Structure 1
């Protein structure tokens, strides 16, 4: 019987056969497969989503700008926020608030530019309501909830700090 890497070492595993692939082989196959699947889903979902808003297919300057800012600024800031939340950093609420405001601003620009340009970018009413309105609703609701929560936390922290730093009144 071949030795196995499991604990306890004396565990009896009938028919055990060691893996013939190295960890780097396994990870490279996994990473390549994942990248291929994500790329295919991205391509096909983008084409599908464009039925709800053809500005994506046409690479509209306003949409590209809003999405670019989101990807370049809010993406890394969101990763930093995850780190700040997980490690209990003092700046986590202000960072979440800033990201949420940025997302709300970007969503407002997204909708307002569509309205100003005639709001005629959907293939039909199903795609308009399901994709353009429905799929984008989360980009309003979730950041709004986070912003309100953070606002309350920040205000509460300032109230506590204000109560601790005030000098007692002399009578």
Structure 2
């Protein structure tokens, strides 16, 4: 059966078009993300006496839940995703306009997603927990988790750039779906790496002075 993805020669067995419109899917995704962020912010605010940063706690919790939930769904359903019509499947099929590798079970992409689900996801949740508790360990785990995000997201981009043959040529799909939806996991981690370095460096300086 023909499909709307690129390259047009890509084989997508048992493909079934989405029943929900693009607008419906984007609005639904927006509402879900808003509710998730609100829940994380509320949790961080509730424990504000110990939480070092509600914004950082929210970032790592949202990232962890997306890795363990949304991306885990793709991992378990990648072979049948194209023929499914449930909400999460249709969200993935909509995103696949920006990267059709998600409908072809690409092996390199699979490797990245396995690391994301089984390592990055739990690491984000653990980092969020340390931030919530105001633990001194938070900056070490924040550094590690942020470097993991920078590594995986950079590799993700490099795997398909500069040709972007798996992306619909429409600027909306390239610049919004492929670039904008993924770039936060490079931009924010870069800032967090710098912050972690400052805190760890300061801790070493303080320890040296004491000694």
Alignment TM-score, normalising by the size of structure 1: 0.69
Quote how far apart the aligned CAs of 1:139 are.
1.1
Match of 2:109 among 39, 52, 63: 63
Q: State the partner residue of 1:99.
A: 145
CA distance in 2, matches of 1:96, 1:121: 32
* Matched ranges for 1:11-90 at <5 A: 40-90=86-136
Q: What number of residue pairs does the alignment pair up?
A: 127
CA distance in 2, matches of 1:154, 1:148: 10
Q: State the partner residue of 1:128.
A: 174
Q: State the partner residue of 1:26.
A: none
CA distance in 2, matches of 1:137, 1:82: 21
Quote how far apart the aligned CAs of 1:101 are.
0.1
Q: State the partner residue of 2:164.
A: 119
Where does the alignment leave 5 or more consecutive residues of structure 2 unmatched? 1-68, 74-85
Quote how far apart the aligned CAs of 1:98 are.
0.1
Q: Which has the larger radius of gyration?
A: 1
Superposition RMSD in Å: 1.7
